[in-house]
Structure 1
Amino acid sequence: MFAGLTIEGEAFVVKCPVHGTVVWRRGDTTISTDKRARIHASGNELWFLPASVEDNGIYTCFHPEYAPKMMSVIINPNTEGTCYYEDALYLETTGRPGSVKIFCPCYNDYENASDTKWLKDCKRLCGARYKVVKNVLYISDAIKSDSGYYTCQFTYHHGGRAFPVTATTPLIITDSFLLTSPKVLYPKDGDVIEVEIGSPARLLCKAWLGHGKQGIAISFWEFDEANDSKRFVTSNKSYMVPGEGQFAEAELRITEVREEDLSLTFRCVLANDLEYETTEVTLVPKGAGEGHSNTYVIVVFAILAGLTMILVMVYHVFHVDIVLCVRRIFNCNKSRDDGKVHDAYVIYPTNDTYENNFMGSFVHQILPEVLEKQCGYRLCIYGRDVLPGEDAISAIESRIQKSRRLIILLTEWLAKSEHFAYEHQIAFYNVLIQNNVKVILLEMEEIGDYERLQESLRHLIHQQGTIKWRAKYMASPSSPNTAFWKQVEYQMPWRRHLKKTTTANPAYGLL
């Protein structure tokens, strides 16, 4: 059951979690659609102009294609000196020291709204560090003490009357950094190191682990089993460099190099909180490669280099097909013990314009047809896989956390929107902060200038790019053999075993 909370005397709108026009009722009483009424219905919205404590209760929205949705409306009393209630907070904003911006959470739900005014912990903000542009608060030189509860206030105009609206979101300034993969500084993978037989040798490797302090900072050398392993002595360390981040080093000392060591592969392993990287080296005696031996080595390396280039070029062109083929040949349908329920949660434009055109067909027909029926994945699509009466906010957060991937449909409308829906905020929190869900970006319309998008979304696009839907795919939109669907399947997790009798189950999201 969804809970709508606000303060008495303010404008307030509750949205039914289905699209299209619905009928609203409180008990056996149908809510009027007359926009002059204090409480009236419009499309899938229920308006309170203004809200009163007597409005507290259960409201139900009815749509012929969906089960009834029950909404609990709670109106808090307007108490002097109180600008927010703990049970009526929006999703928190997280920032790092420096420049921070906060969006007024519900601003886009109200047309003809005034610019916002802001309070921190119910006290008016003032000072050169604060700048307000329409519905966004910018804080320069933000530090940890700027953490707190930020309330935006604006006026909503309707029918010649003005109604106040407030919304509060917590801000947390943290020193944490986005996780990045370790970057090996030296040696390069495949390096050949010259040594002198019978003399000691020293192998060093070093990697940059990230800007912030890592919980995991691992570095060590490993090699094939060798005779008299006591000749090998290893050591490692990690340390912070102000302004640069954390580094890890590993050292391997060979007290006496022997001929047999030339056949060994020495591998340095370096890891941080995100993942690990390896680099391999081999040893050659000093002076090796002179005369005929040198010519032989050059020829061998030239042949190997040529073959490697050909393989790299083939893999570069056909790597998606190769990976998908390998998955099918080796039946990569592993049993899952990661606690996830869905293979992907789908985020898409929810305005009526997209719902009633090709985008609506793509989300509700084409996408399930290809990924569920033909590829055997389990999708969770909001509006289809959420239980009737569930709290929408909790449902979205739970489904995303139980999904292995996020599929986000990028459109021109998304680029123009100044504020994301709640599920976008949860999605980016899981992708960028908790780092436990991988994202797949489908560019369904030509967006052009990505600079109009939210900063976190631009970061994802810069990091991994998008899969673009082309007009040529309209001829056969459900064919899994097009480049578009191959790229999508490539980025999806290893799929489940698909039996011949398997059909797409709309209830997958209910598991």
Structure 2
Amino acid sequence: MHCRSQLKGIPSNLVQAKDSAQSKALLYCVNFQRKYDDVCTFDLPIYLPPGFRDIRIIPDGSKKGRKMNVQVHPYKRGMCFPSRILYANETRKGKISCPTFKNYENATIIQWYKDCRPLQGERYFMHDPYIFIENLNKEDDGYYTCQFTYTHRGKVFNVSATRIFISEAKHSSLPVEILFPKDEDVKEVELGTAFSLKCQARLGIKKQPIAVVTWDVNKIPAEYADEEKIHQEIIYFEGQHQEYYGEATLTISNIEHTDLQSSFTCVAMNEMGNTRSTVTLRLKEKCPQ
């Protein structure tokens, strides 16, 4: 299904989505031009701020549309795929499928990459939408990216998606659980002081191939927020019974009135899915004298 998009008044352009199940997918969309993207393709001649964005998609030939929520990740030089958009290991045999490939009509894979380097050699055989690896071994573990093209209305689009591949089972995934803070929690702060927010999530048993715990500020990833004022530190560790945890600490160096109108959302993700917990701030009540 090909669709046109409307993004907060921005002129419509191309978006492709297979079905409503993708309405919560994380999208890799960038300013101006980018070699790779994922799930949906934007060809907008303007800069899209990072963060969550609401769009309206209208199937070709239809007057009705529906809303989707997408997350925009800005392009960083030297990064070949965004760490938040990885597809889970689906098999431990020497066969890897290209994620999202079947969502596109008349698509053709033009290149496979492993850990951002082109795959070459007699051990590899491509047959859409798969790549087959002969004599599989431990060194074949890594991140596999398929780059493919498809044509819509005479225009060729580049698309890519990345899947982590592990040849042997080493871990067990569990549904992501944010241990703290609770969703819709309210923290008391004082103007002019520093304040830290901590988020801890359980991600599975043993080290996870996909593990993300991070903060968004007003739906924008913390790393793209006010760099002079907001800092984030992230650690991952194993517990007493081999549970795997992630902990993100967001520090605001100077609380201002604008922070009281802001939302702070912890995002936790593993290969099974993601969950969120949002915190707001309010002024601490002064004790009566």
Larger radius of gyration: 1
Question: Comparing both structures, which one devotes a greater share of its residues to strand?
Answer: 2
Question: Comparing both structures, which one devotes a greater share of its residues to helix?
Answer: 1
Give the TM bin, normalised by the shorter chain: 0.3 to 0.5
